[in-house]
């Protein structure tokens, strides 16, 4: 029996779902109803426009809350809908996991412990990527690349950034905003790093593969989407570095070509190298314009951060009212 002097904390475990009627029972059978440090543990699924019996299966297996999308909005939107619902339901900590039972639910206490001990705002479950047999070498390489990009952009030390098994404090969840329609995993870590939230990783176990990944429909498609996601991450969260690097590169090449023409001209051989002067002028102009874009993009990024802070403050005021 829970002591009345123990802090009242609610944990909600959310599961984004899209046509998961077959795998969901296996996943739900593993979820805990009691987790150390929490007085309430509830389950929530986000039905992302399923056409099968996902909702009926969820309710039959004791899911407490169901959020429904009228159509398929994608994993990132399902994740954010879940966070919003969990906050409205009074969650102190939110755990996100997948409906394919990829992650070992017995590791949820280890995932939430750093938050309970006030050592983290966001906890990422780090899978043993190299030991997962059903991951192809290409997918493993892309996982490592994505994690490296996130570490550079967020200034955090996350070994498995694409992992969807994560625990989020209430304060961190209130500050999350996902712009990508494809996946939330990389973007949320970068946001946490920019907002000075503490991000840590804990090792977790994985279960046997129940079905192929919905995100990885084919290796070429996965590579294309991963590259686009990585580029968008740098544009949105490091705009000055992204456009500034391009601008400096163009400007530098223009200067070098211009100096080459100037040397030829001083040596009396400039008449046959007018095309170098034209190219240098074009590169210098492009570099200067790109640097201007870098400053404008940086101002827009600062404005976005202010709007996100206003959103959090409005949410806090609404809760107080």
pLDDT in tens, 141-152: 777 777 887 787
Q: Rounded to the nearest 5°, which phi and psi values hold at 23?
A: -90, -20
Taking alpha carbons only, the member of 32, 67, 23, 30 closest to residue 49 is 67
Pairing of strands 122-126, 166-169: antiparallel
Partners of 169 in beta bridges = 93
Question: Which residue ranges make up each domain of the chain?
Answer: 10-237, 239-320
- Distance from C-alpha of 280 to C-alpha of 273, rounded to nearest angstrom: 11
Of the candidate ranges 87-91, 116-120, 228-232, the one whose mean pLDDT is the lowest: 228-232
pLDDT over 90 percentage in the chain: 45
- Percent of the chain with pLDDT strictly greater than 70: 88
Per-residue pLDDT at 265? 78
For residue range 310-320, list pLDDT tens digits in order: 766 776 665 55
Burial code (b: 16+ CB inside 10 Å, e: under 16) for 102-136 equals: bbbbebbbbbbbbbbeeebbbbbbbbebeeeeebe
| Residue 1's pLDDT band (cuts 50, 70, 90) | very low
User: What is residue 261's predicted lDDT score, i.e. its pLDDT?
Assistant: 83
Which residues are CB-neighbours of 69 under 8 A, at least 6 positions away? Answer: 46, 47, 48, 49, 77, 78, 81
Q: Which fold has domain 10-237?
A: Spore Coat Polysaccharide Biosynthesis Protein SpsA; Chain A (3.90.550)
**Among 187, 100, 111, 96, residue whose Cα is nearest residue 149:** 187
Q: Taking residues 154-171, report their average pLDDT.
A: 88
User: Which residues, including other chains, have CB under 8 Å from residue 105's CB and lie 6 or more apart?
Assistant: 27, 30, 31, 32, 97
Averaged pLDDT score across all residues of the chain: 85
Is residue 155's pLDDT more than 60? Answer: yes
Q: Are 192 and 154 in contact (CB under 8 A)?
A: yes
Q: Is the pLDDT of residue 5 over 90?
A: no
Is residue 272 over pLDDT 70?
Answer: no
Please enumerate in sequence order all residues whose Cβ is within 8 A of that of 269, keeping only pairs 6 or more positions apart, or say none.
none
Residue 233 has pLDDT above 90, yes or no: no
At 305, is the pLDDT very low, low, confident or very high (cuts 50, 70, 90)? confident
For residue range 38-51, list pLDDT tens digits in order: 999 999 999 999 99
In eight-state DSSP terms, residue 127 is: -
The values of phi and psi at residue 159, to 5°, are: -75, -25
Of the candidates 76, 236, 87, 237, the one whose C-alpha atom is nearest the C-alpha of residue 174 is: 87
Record the pTM. Answer: 0.77
Query: Inter-axis angle of helices 274-320 and 239-266, to 10 degrees?
Result: 170
pLDDT of residue 200: 93
């Amino acid at each position: 029996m829970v002591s009345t002097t123990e802090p009242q904390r609610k944990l909600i475990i959310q599961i984004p779902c899209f046509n998961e009627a077959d795998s969901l029972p296996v996943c739900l059978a593993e979820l805990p109803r009691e987790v150390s440090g929490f007085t309430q543990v509830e389950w929530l699924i986000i039905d992302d426009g399923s056409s099968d019996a996902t909702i009926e299966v969820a309710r039959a297996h004791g899911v407490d809350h169901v959020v429904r999308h009228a159509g398929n909005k994608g994993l990132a939107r399902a994740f954010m809908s879940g966070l919003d619902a969990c906050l409205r339901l009074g969650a102190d900590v939110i755990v996100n996991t997948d409906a394919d039972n990829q992650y070992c639910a017995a590791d949820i206490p280890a995932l939430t412990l750093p938050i309970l001990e006030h050592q983290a705002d966001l906890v990422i479950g780090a899978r043993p990527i190299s030991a997962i047999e059903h991951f192809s070498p290409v997918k493993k390489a892309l996982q490592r690349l994505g994690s490296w990009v996130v570490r550079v952009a967020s200034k955090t030390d996350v070994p498995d950034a694409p992992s969807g098994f994560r625990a989020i404090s209430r304060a961190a969840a209130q500050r999350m905003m996902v712009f990508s329609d494809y996946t939330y995993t990389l973007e949320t870590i970068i946001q946490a790093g920019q907002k000075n939230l503490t991000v840590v990783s804990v090792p977790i176990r994985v279960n046997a593969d129940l079905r192929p990944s919905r995100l990885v429909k084919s290796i070429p498609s996965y590579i294309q989407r991963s590259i686009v996601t990585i580029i968008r991450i740098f544009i949105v969260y490091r705009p000055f570095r992204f456009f500034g690097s391009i601008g400096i590169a163009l400007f530098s090449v223009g200067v070098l070509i211009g100096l080459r023409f100037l040397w030829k001209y001083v040596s009396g051989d400039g008449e046959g190298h007018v095309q170098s002067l034209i190219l240098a002028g074009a590169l210098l102009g492009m570099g200067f314009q790109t640097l201007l874009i870098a400053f404008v993009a940086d101002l827009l990024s600062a404005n976005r951060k202010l709007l996100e802070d206003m959103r959090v403050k409005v949410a806090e005021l609404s809760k107080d009212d």
